Amino acid sequence: MIKIEQLKQDIQLIDISSKVNLDSEDRTKLIEKYNLTNEILDYADDENERARLEFDDVNQIWLVVYYVQNELSKEDSTKATRPVALVIKENKLFLFTNKYTHYVKDYIMSADDHFPADIEDRIWALMFNSFDRISDDFSDTINDINNHRDRIQAHIERRKTNYAQIIDLANLQDSVIYVSSAINSDYSVARQIDTIANSKAETVNLTDKTKERLHDSVVEIEQIKDEADLASDVIDRVSNTSNNILDNQVNNTMKVLTIYTIVLSIPTIVSGFYGMNMGLPVADKKWSWVLSIIITIAMIIFVLWDLHRRNSL
C-alpha cells in the first residue's frame, strides 16, 4: 500500500507499507509514476538485504538500507532485526517497510514536527534523526539483554543452574549476535554517508549543521556498537563460567560416586573371603563375625584417611 504524507518545505514522504513483500501493483506504480528503477526496488523489497548505501548516478537516486528492530516478534531471535529501505529522489523520501517495521514512519513524522520549517537538507536531517531513534531502540534492547543476563548470572552464583537457564543463556547469546550484527551494519552505513559527506564528492552536499547531525548519529551508533560488543563478550564469559560450573559439578558427582564405590567394595571383599568354602584363620570362632566387621571398618577408615592425605576427598 502506497500512502503519501506531505511534510514541511514541500517534501513528500511516500510510505510504501507491505504485509511482508512489495506487491506487483505498487511496484508498477513506483516505476511508472515515480521513475524508480527495478534494481532499487529489488534492494528495497528484499527482507534479507544487508545494510547498504547505494547511489544511482543516472537517475540521481539514493538508497539507504538500514536495520531496525522487529517490534512484533520478541521471542524469535532470528527475526529480531529487519531491514528498512529509504530512497531519496529529488524532494521525495520513499520509505519501504512492512508490518514488522512500519513504526519507523512515526519516527520520520515526529522528526518533521520537531524540526523548524526552514531547515536545509531536510530529507537527510529527517533520516539522521530517525537513525538516532533507531539507535535508542537498540540501546534499550541491550539494556534488557544485560538485565536478563544479570538474572541468569545470579542463579548461577547461587548454584541453581538448570536446563531452563541454560536454554535462556543460549537464546540470549543468539539475540545479542543478531542485534550486534544489525548495529555493526548500521554503523558501517552511517560511517559511509559521513565519509562521502565530508569528501570532495558532489553527490551529497550537506550543510555544516546537517553534517553535525550526521556526525552525532555516527557517534551515538558507535557507542551502541561498543555496548553491544561488551554485552556479547560478557555473555560469552557467563556462558563459559556456567559450563565450567556444570563440568565441576559433574566432576564432583563422579568423585563422590567413586569414593562410595571404593568404600562399599571393602565389605564385599572381606565378607567374600569368609564366605569361601575353605579354612580361614579364626573362622571357627564365635567372634569371627565381629572380627570381620572390625577389619572392614579399619580398612574403610584407612582408605578414607589415605584419600584425605592425597587431597582426593
Tell me what the mean pLDDT of segment 27-34 comes to: 88
Q: Is-contact 104 84, C-beta < 8 A?
A: yes
What pLDDT is recorded for position 313? 61
Q: Do 42 and 85 fall within a single domain?
A: yes
What pLDDT is recorded for position 162? 66
| Amino acid identity, position 111 | A
pLDDT single digits (tens) 231-247: 989 888 888 877 777 77
CA distances from residue 42 to 23, 31, 98 in whole angstroms, order as listed: 12, 12, 15
The DSSP output letter for 37 is: -
CA distance 112 to 115: 6
Buried b (16+ CB within 10 A) or exposed e, 274-305: eeeeeeeeeeeeeeeeeebeebbeeebeeeee
Q: Do 102 and 11 fall within a single domain?
A: yes
Does the reported pTM lie above 0.95?
Answer: no
Provide the domain limits for residue 36.
Answer: 2-247
Q: Do 299 and 253 fall within a single domain?
A: yes
Q: Do 196 and 109 fall within a single domain?
A: yes
What pLDDT is recorded for position 282? 65
Q: Do 64 and 80 fall within a single domain?
A: yes
Tell me what the mean pLDDT of segment 108-119 comes to: 88
How many structural domains does the chain have?
2
CA distance 93 to 111: 13
pLDDT single digits (tens) 152-179: 888 777 766 666 777 888 888 888 899 9
The torsion of the CA quartet 295, 299, 305, 307, rounded to 10 degrees, works out to: -170
